[in-house]
Amino acid sequence: MKIVYTIVICIFCFFAHSLNLHCQSDEDCMECHSDPDISMERKGVLRPLTVKKFILARSVHASLKCVDCHAGFDPYDIPHKSPMTLINCLDCHKNTVQIHRFHPQMVGSKGTEGSPNVNCKGCHGTHNVSSPKDPTSPKHFANSTQYCGKCHADILTDHLQSEHHVEVEHNNPNAPTCIYCHSKPITKGNLLDKAQLKINQEKLCLDCHLNDPHNPSKFAKTLVDYEKSVHGLAILSGNQDAAVCVDCHGAHKLQKASVPTSSVHKNNIAELCGKCHGDITKEYLSSVHGRAMKFGVGESPSCTFCHGEHNITAVPHIEKQVFTATGMKFEKMVDNQMVWCISCHSDQAMMTRRGLLTIEEAHKWLPAAATHYNTVRCVDCHSSYDPPNLSHNILNREETIKKCEECHSQNSVLMSKLYVHEKEKSRNLMGFINGTLLSNAYVIGTTRNVYLDVTSGVIFVFTVSGIFIHAFLRFRSRKTRNVEQA
**How much is the average pLDDT of 409-431?**
58
User: In the predicted model, is pLDDT for residue 435 greater than 60?
Assistant: no
**How much is the average pLDDT of 307-311?**
80
pLDDT band of residue 467 (cuts 50, 70, 90) is very high
Contacts of 298 (CB under 8 A, 6+ apart): 266
User: In the predicted model, is pLDDT for residue 428 greater than 70?
Assistant: no
User: What is the pLDDT at residue 440?
Assistant: 47
User: In the predicted model, is pLDDT for residue 201 greater than 80?
Assistant: yes
User: What is the pLDDT at residue 463?
Assistant: 93
User: In the predicted model, is pLDDT for residue 76 greater than 60?
Assistant: yes
DSSP 42-60: ETTEEEE----HHHHHTST
Number of H helices, E strands in the chain: 27, 2
Rounded Cα distance, 380 and 66, in Å: 81
User: In the predicted model, is pLDDT for residue 486 greater than 70?
Assistant: no
pLDDT band of residue 124 (cuts 50, 70, 90) is confident
pLDDT band of residue 6 (cuts 50, 70, 90) is very low
Helix (H), strand (E) at residue 39 = strand 39-42
User: What is the pLDDT at residue 403?
Assistant: 67
Mean pLDDT of the chain: 79
**How much of the chain exceeds pLDDT 90, in percent?**
15
pTM for the predicted model, two decimal places: 0.66
Q: Which of 91-100, 181-190, 379-388 has the lowest mean pLDDT?
A: 379-388
User: In the predicted model, is pLDDT for residue 93 greater than 60?
Assistant: yes
User: In the predicted model, is pLDDT for residue 13 greater than 70?
Assistant: no
Rounded Cα distance, 309 and 222, in Å: 8
Rounded Cα distance, 308 and 224, in Å: 13
- The answer to whether 393 and 423 have CB atoms below 8 angstroms apart is no
CA torsion angle for 237, 242, 243, 245 (degrees, to 10)?
Answer: 20
Rounded Cα distance, 435 and 429, in Å: 7
Rounded Cα distance, 472 and 481, in Å: 14
DSSP 84-101: PPPP-GGGT-TTHHHHTT
pLDDT band of residue 215 (cuts 50, 70, 90) is low
User: What is the pLDDT at residue 9?
Assistant: 43
User: What is the pLDDT at residue 143?
Assistant: 83
pLDDT band of residue 146 (cuts 50, 70, 90) is confident
38-69: b or e for each residue (b if 16 or more CB lie within 10 Å)? eeeeeeeeeeeeebeeeebeebeeeeeebbeb
Name the DSSP class of 400.
S
CA angle 451, 457, 462 (to 5 degrees): 125
- Measured in residues, the chain has a length of 486
User: In the predicted model, is pLDDT for residue 278 greater than 80?
Assistant: yes
